[in-house]
């Protein structure tokens, strides 16, 4: 609405993107993936890519070299960002792993399909009567593969959930050995998937910070400021060891 827009606009004036990431390489995944069922059908999800693209734009404005690995979306990549377009979860995994060792920070914002069809027919499947049963196998877990590196980048994950959001985010943070996780309630109307606005709860091992609803770009700036504090602390920790 117009009030929120004006509030966001003046917040933006007071609070421009500081160059916190000069010289840093950040890889961001965004959008949905698509898993083929046959040459014409697929499984996907309601991710629009807007949150990941907003983070890419904000990270670039804050001085980072940004690689954006994106599933199929209907929005344009921000200027001066390296875009790698992929379709399936396997392709996204392969694109991420090819470049991950050069990255300082990895932000996994994509809504990656957990499963893919075990055997994809090469021809369009014809309609039949009765019940159809399909078997799906797990896709590679991109966050797990990144965390399994000898020297993993500083990693921020996302948890987009419709229920028990914080508990699930906290368990994902620990299970996948993330540095931070941003929990996203996708059941709230007007926020999240396909919306231009969002709200996040950012959780680390020792903290929980709520970022209230605003434009996805403003939210990305605030999220990256939080990330920078944690990232800097983790770097100082490494040096002092």
Catalytic residue IDs:
45
Options 137, 189, 206, 212; binder of a copy of itself; rule CB under 8 A: 137
Give the closest residue to 204 by CA, choosing from 181, 227, 185: 181
Instruction: Please check whether residue 143 is in contact with residue 97, taking contact to mean a CB–CB distance below 8 angstroms.
Output: no
Considering only CA atoms, which of 214, 223, 185, 194 is closest in space to residue 1? Answer: 214
Q: How many CB atoms lie within 10 A of CB 132?
A: 8
Q: Does 208 bind a copy of itself (CB under 8 A)?
A: no
Binding span for a copy of itself by CB under 8 A among 15-23, 52-60, 90-98, 121-129: 121-129
Q: Does 190 bind a copy of itself (CB under 8 A)?
A: no
46 near a copy of itself (CB under 8 A): yes
Kind and range of the H or E run holding 25:
strand 25-30
Whole-angstrom CA distances from 217 to 24, 51, 145, 178, 206 are 20, 8, 28, 23, 26
3-class DSSP assignment, residue 5:
helix
Name the minimum Å distance from CB 83 to a copy of itself. Answer: 19
Q: Is 168 in the site for a copy of itself (CB under 8 A)?
A: yes
Among 96, 160, 182, 211, binds a copy of itself (CB under 8 A): 160
Minimum distance between the CB of residue 167 and a copy of itself, rounded to whole angstroms?
12
**Residue among 193, 211, 226, 231 that touches a copy of itself (CB under 8 A):** 193
Point out which residues bind a copy of itself (CB under 8 A): 37, 39-47, 74, 111, 113-115, 118, 123-124, 126-127, 129-138, 160-163, 168, 186-187, 193
């Amino acid at each position: 609405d117009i009030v929120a827009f004006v509030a966001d606009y003046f917040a933006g004036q007071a609070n421009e993107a500081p160059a916190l990431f000069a010289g840093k390489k950040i890889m961001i995944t965004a959008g949905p993936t698509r898993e083929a069922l046959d040459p014409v059908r697929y499984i996907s999800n309601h991710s629009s890519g807007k949150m990941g693209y907003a983070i890419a734009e904000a990270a670039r404005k804050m001085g980072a070299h940004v690689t954006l690995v994106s599933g199929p979306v209907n929005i344009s990549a921000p200027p001066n960002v390296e875009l790698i377009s992929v379709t399936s979860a396997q392709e996204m995994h392969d694109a991420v792993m090819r470049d991950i060792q050069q990255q300082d920070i990895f932000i996994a914002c994509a809504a990656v399909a957990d499963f893919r069809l075990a055997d994809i027919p090469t021809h369009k499947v014809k309609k039949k009567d009765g019940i159809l049963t399909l078997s799906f196998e797990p896709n590679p877990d991109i966050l797990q593969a990144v965390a399994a590196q000898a020297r993993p980048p500083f990693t921020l994950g996302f948890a987009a959930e419709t229920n028990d959001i914080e508990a699930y985010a906290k368990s994902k943070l620990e299970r996948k050995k993330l540095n931070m996780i941003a929990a996203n309630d996708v059941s709230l109307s007007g926020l999240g998937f396909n919306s231009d606005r969002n709200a996040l709860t950012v959780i680390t091992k020792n903290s929980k910070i709520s970022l209230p609803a605003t434009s996805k770009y403003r939210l990305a700036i605030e999220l990256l400021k939080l990330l920078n504090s944690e990232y800097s602390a983790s770097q100082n920790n490494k040096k002092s060891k």
